[in-house]
Structure 1
Amino acid sequence: FMLALVIGGFIKISVLLYAAVIGTANLFKIKSPSRLSYPLGFIILFMASTIASNFQEHLHEGLKVEMFILHMPILAIIPPLLLLVAFLKNRKKQRE
């Protein structure tokens, strides 16, 4: 069971790091995304160690703080705003 958890965690982190490297390379139009893997890896390692120093703090950050800072705007605020923008753009096209 523990082996499956470790392997699954490694695969999840690897896929997320790969997505971050590819996304950053596309954002900044870098031709060789592999040049970003070490810098982004070090940034992620630094951020992971500074955000939560122990498991209890990690749980608090993930379940309490992040829920209101990240999930609420992404799930409750941004979609209605995008819907409003889509309606306004659609109404403007219909008038023309």
Structure 2
Amino acid sequence: MEFLQRLDAIVVFTFLITMFFKTSIYFYCSLIGIVDLFKLKNHQQIVLPIGVINIFLSMVMASNFSEQTEEGIIPH
């Protein structure tokens, strides 16, 4: 039964890696969309401002996970 006690660390590690890749893909897609929208020649000049805006909006929209979950629910 020692295996079952160590399984939670593997699950948490997998969750963190998955969320990292998901966030990276969303960030890259939003970056490419903004570059295409404003017809910029180079996406490197806008990486830092978009990152700062994303961090600011993530803090303003919800201060904890419960608020984030409520914010994401679409009322019918």
Q: Alpha-carbon deviations, 1:1-35, whole Å to 9, x = none?
A: 11111111010010111011111111111000111
Match of 2:13 in 1: 3
Structure 2: runs of 5+ lacking an equivalent: 1-10
More helix by share: 1
Q: Alpha-carbon deviations, 1:34-54, whole Å to 9, x = none?
A: 111111111010000010001
Q: Percent identity?
A: 33
Residue 15 of structure 1 aligns with an amino acid whose one-letter code is I
Task: Measure the CA separation in 2 of the matches of 1:42 and 1:55.
Answer: 20
Mapped pair 1:42 → 2:52: yes
Count of residues in correspondence between the two structures: 66
Runs of 4+, deviation exceeding 6 Å: none
Structure 1: runs of 5+ lacking an equivalent: 73-96
Q: Which one is further off, 54-63 or 17-26? A: 54-63
